[in-house]
Amino acid sequence: MSSLTNKHILLGVTGGIAAYKSAELVRRLQDQGASVRVVMTPAAQEFITPLTLQALSGNPVHTTLLDPEAEMGMGHIELARWADLLLVAPASADFMARLAQGLGNDLLTTLCLATAAPICLAPAMNQGMWHSPATQENLQTLRSRGITLFGPAAGAQACGDVGPGRMLEPGELADLTAQQFSSGLLAGKKVVITAGPTREPIDPVRYISNHSSGKMGYAIAQAAVEAGARVTLISGPTRLPAPDDCRRIDVETAEEMLAASLAELEGCDLFIASAAVADFRPAQLAGQKIKKGSSDTMTLELVKNPDIVSTVASHAQRPAVVVGFAAETQDVVRYARDKLQRKNLDLVIANDVSRADIGFNSDDNAVTLVWRDREESLAQRSKAQLARDLIQHFTQTP
């Protein structure tokens, strides 16, 4: 059973009598585990009040594009990035026409233009409006841009007509929304992911580590599960819960991470090294807590850790696709290409960690994918969305 655990659903409500069902839809999405934020067009507010949807969603409802106060909270671009999926229900004929034209003349159309998340529409209108050639042409255009349509159903309409144009019921819409996250792209594949930092002990109370949060690797694990893979997540210490349906192996040191990785190679199709492995570890592990002593300096001898991803990439049981990450502060693509060759990888995901708004501890990331024969940049988006986009690229690698 698919669910919306940890998913951010941006619900757009446009002007139509079916807007009364949007209140129930917020609840049904939440029942499946989603966090919901609501955006209403002015026409929608003629049918249902923002207060109702605010109370149900537990978040302020966004209504205008040019509201300085709202922009200070969560601005429209942030909102567009926050979304894992944008669902417009009900979607009126007028809204779909504006979307097909690429207009950004209110908050909701602007969000549709700005977001990298998938967009789904639940049309609701009179059957005559649905059948009109203008609406049908707009639908074609929207479909050709990858926008998904949920319904409409046929039946009795509020105006007394009978025919297509009824919005699907909230429960059906919530189920269809959840299904969008299970692609089947990695069905039957075994995926092994390293994530988080490693922790290299100095003595029983101290260690060397780094600021990696593990968010990117965990997001990839979640997306791989949703794509139908059997996923093993080999994780250094993080504060994150493992995705449901994924096997998590907890490790601390680079050597433990290597041992766990090698033990998982049997039958592995795709290996993704997202862990921030400590390059060095203390040469000796002190059995007792090291005392300050009287000297003002202290020398710690370090030895190099094994390179996990390159060991995997040159192993007799090498998975078909081995992917590494490159966190750089300058010359990002050049260093990534060097890593690709040196470590014998199929793909390197490069990101610029000198930027505070993306990477390491952030919820967002922007990356450049570097293959042997090509490159592609993916603009800033949530790590969850990026992870789903990466899955698509993994299936087209090498």
Q: Does 273 bind ligand C5P (CB under 6 A)?
A: yes
Q: Does 307 bind ligand C5P (CB under 6 A)?
A: yes
Q: Does 234 bind ligand C5P (CB under 6 A)?
A: no
Q: Does 80 bind ligand C5P (CB under 6 A)?
A: no
CB-CB contact of 47 with 17 (8 Å)? yes
Q: Does 305 bind ligand C5P (CB under 6 A)?
A: yes
Q: β-strand 321-328 against 270-273: which pairing, if any?
A: parallel
Q: How far is the CB of 281 from ligand C5P (least distance, A)?
A: 10
Closest CB to ligand C5P among residues 12, 319:
319
> Of the listed pieces 16-24, 55-63, 98-106, 322-330, which binds ligand C5P according to CB under 6 A?
322-330
Q: In terms of C-beta density within 10 A (0-12 exposed, 13-18 middle, 19 or more buried), how is residue 382 classed?
A: buried
Our measurement of the distance from residue 85's CA atom to the centroid of its chain's CA atoms, rounded to an integer in Å, reads: 10
358 by DSSP, 3-state: which? coil
Q: Does 326 bind ligand C5P (CB under 6 A)?
A: yes
Closest CB to ligand C5P among residues 326, 386:
326
CB-CB contact of 255 with 261 (8 Å)? no
CA contacts within 13 A on the Cβ side of 365? 29
> Of the listed pieces 132-140, 269-277, 281-289, 378-386, which binds ligand C5P according to CB under 6 A?
269-277
User: For ligand C5P, which residue of 308, 313, 336, 367 counts as binding (CB under 6 A)?
Assistant: 308
Per the residue annotation, which of 112, 120, 159, 246 is the catalytic one? Answer: 159
> Of the listed pieces 46-54, 95-103, 301-309, 363-371, which binds ligand C5P according to CB under 6 A?
301-309
Q: What share of the chain is helix, strand, coil (3-state, %, to 5)?
A: 35, 25, 40
Distance CA(373)–CA(381), nearest Å, equals 25
Closest CB to ligand C5P among residues 307, 346:
307
268 has catalytic annotation: no
Closest CB to ligand C5P among residues 180, 232:
232
Distances (CA, A) of 61 to 57, 145, 198, 273: 8, 28, 41, 39
Q: Does 277 bind ligand C5P (CB under 6 A)?
A: yes
Chain length of the chain = 398
Sequence-distant (≥ 6) Cβ neighbours of residue 49 within 8 angstroms:
none
Closest CB to ligand C5P among residues 44, 323:
323
Q: Does 218 bind ligand C5P (CB under 6 A)?
A: no
CB-CB contact of 397 with 364 (8 Å)? no
Q: Which residues are catalytic?
A: 159
Binding residues for ligand C5P (CB under 6 A): 194, 254, 273-275, 277, 305, 307-309, 324-326, 339
